[in-house]
Structure 1
């Protein structure tokens, strides 16, 4: 394992959700990262030539915040990419996705919209999934206002966001919603029964541990059935007709095998899938582009797959 990854894991261990009480979790949810030299060094800064605009979209029960990223120099209707941030359905916000979303906007030449869905444990499943689907439908319906093409739409997300991107793809198919051309699933959590062998293999991995996975799952579901397809997309009774997918996994990730298994079930029904495992990387490595040496490669792969699907 890369030395920088080991050091990063040690530095972040005290921030583990598994050790947080309710008050610490509440404070963590209220924390906004912002941009300064230190955070930009760790998390990456906004790509040059991209304009950020904050607004709202329709959620399940009311408006949810969104952030739109658009290349300043681009003209004409652009492809639309809708992003769902990670954080175990419990943490994370729009700031945490700035590096990824702005770089996708700049590289793909797309309008990227990031959705700030309601978080657990204050809002249990299916709040996040329903917010994300409602926002997707709303944003696609208003694509013209954003200078985007409603016929060229992709979704993406990392970790819990990958779960939500996969769930939204299922929901759009099942509900005759927006046509999605591609789903970018970055180390996605797709099995909330926690049955992947990698959970034990990487139980004490840096960044995310098995204990963290269980706490995040329990915050989100609160005892509800983990095999519900929009909670665990792996258990959908039918995966046919879903968008082509890129599934990116990390070697030292407790939920690494979630991604492998999801790629297998998609391929089994004829859905085009590219599966890439990043050797030596932990869960969440794309969130630390200055410290994790594989982050630029993973970003380049994600952008290339999206650009091809949205051409």
Structure 2
């Protein structure tokens, strides 16, 4: 794992929200999404999932990370997925995959012809991004260029040293409550789409960028997942921000909040989008199969 050089302060920015939409993707209820940016040559399309420990969060609370993704050069579609406890697993991950299928089919209209498609998320949204990548691999579509996981919630055990260090602070309890609400049935904790950190089969996943911080309660499980991806020969870039950052809560602040790590995280995301996007090649057989589904 690499460490960031001392980042510079980023100037607050006004995020260019293109439009809010309601999508019918074959689920019990329509999905609300927010689009950032317009199609342009060379753009990637990033499907983004907000944080909130599976029980809270919204398109507004996800604006910080969605803005970073957009400023890195991507067209971003941020998804308001179903929340627990009203909608426990697998409602959110089913919504994530349905949104991914829709976005992939519409990628030329949203971002540009042949735009590489990524999934991204922070905290619980990082879990959904990782799960969507697993589902896309298992179902052989859509073809993903990469996954961007910021302080992802991956393992409900909450027994790592970084979690234990945070138990006296504000982070420990919301994480435990979120997992209990999301995994209504005990057997769900063993399902790789619910707990990607426990997946026994990681080979064949798309390139991954994982970012955490020294004061992040999810630090250890993020690094463990990065190591396991590397062992499975998945191309991985991993970074640890120096404390203090306030992650993962700080990732859900209002857009444009002045934080010392914002500019550097954005730079790393931009580099990953460019590098992984160049590696993404979709063969004609897959294109034909997807055209029939779309």
Band the TM-score falls in, shorter-chain normalisation: 0.7 to 0.9
Partner of 1:210: 172
Please report how far the alpha carbon of residue 45 of structure 1 lies from its aligned counterpart in structure 2 after TM superposition. 5.0
Aligned counterpart for 2:221 among listed residues 258, 262, 269:
258
Task: Name the structure, 1 or 2, with higher relative contact order (CA <8 Å, separation 6+).
Answer: 2
**Deviation of 1:139 (Å):** 1.3
8 A contact 1:192–1:231 mirrored in 2: no
Match of 1:75 in 2: 40
SS for the counterpart of 1:96 is: coil
Question: Are positions 1:56 and 2:22 aligned together?
Answer: yes
1:246 to 192, 199, 209: 209
Q: Is the 8 A contact 1:101 1:114 kept in 2?
A: yes
Alpha-carbon deviation of 1:272?
1.0
Task: Tell me whether 1:290 sits opposite 2:253 in the alignment.
Answer: no
Matches within 5 A, 1:210-229: 210-225=172-187, 226-229=189-192
2:267: which partner in 1? Answer: 300
Of Structure 1 and Structure 2, the greater helix share is in 1
Task: Show structure 2 runs of 5+ residues with no match.
Answer: 1-11, 279-294
| Structure 1 ranges of 4+ moved more than 4 A | none
TM-score (norm 1): 0.78
1:171 aligns with 2:135: yes
Structure-2 residue corresponding to 1:101 = 66
1:253 deviation in Å? 1.9
Paired residues in the alignment total 261
Root-mean-square deviation over aligned CA pairs: 2.0
Following TM superposition, by how much is the alpha carbon of 1:106 offset from its aligned partner in structure 2, in angstroms? 3.4
SS at match of 2:37: strand
Residue 61 of structure 2 aligns to a residue whose secondary structure is helix
Query: CA offset at residue 64 of structure 1?
Result: 0.4
Kindly indicate whether the alpha-carbon contact (under 8 Å) linking 2:89 and 2:194 is maintained by their aligned counterparts in 1: yes
Q: Which residue of 2 aligns with 1:90?
A: 55
Decide whether aligned partners of structure 1 residues 210 and 66 sit closer, same or farther in structure 2, where only a CA change above 3 A counts. same
5+ residue gaps, structure 1: 1-43
CA drift of 1:183 comes to: 0.5
How far apart are 1:202 and its partner, in Å? 2.1
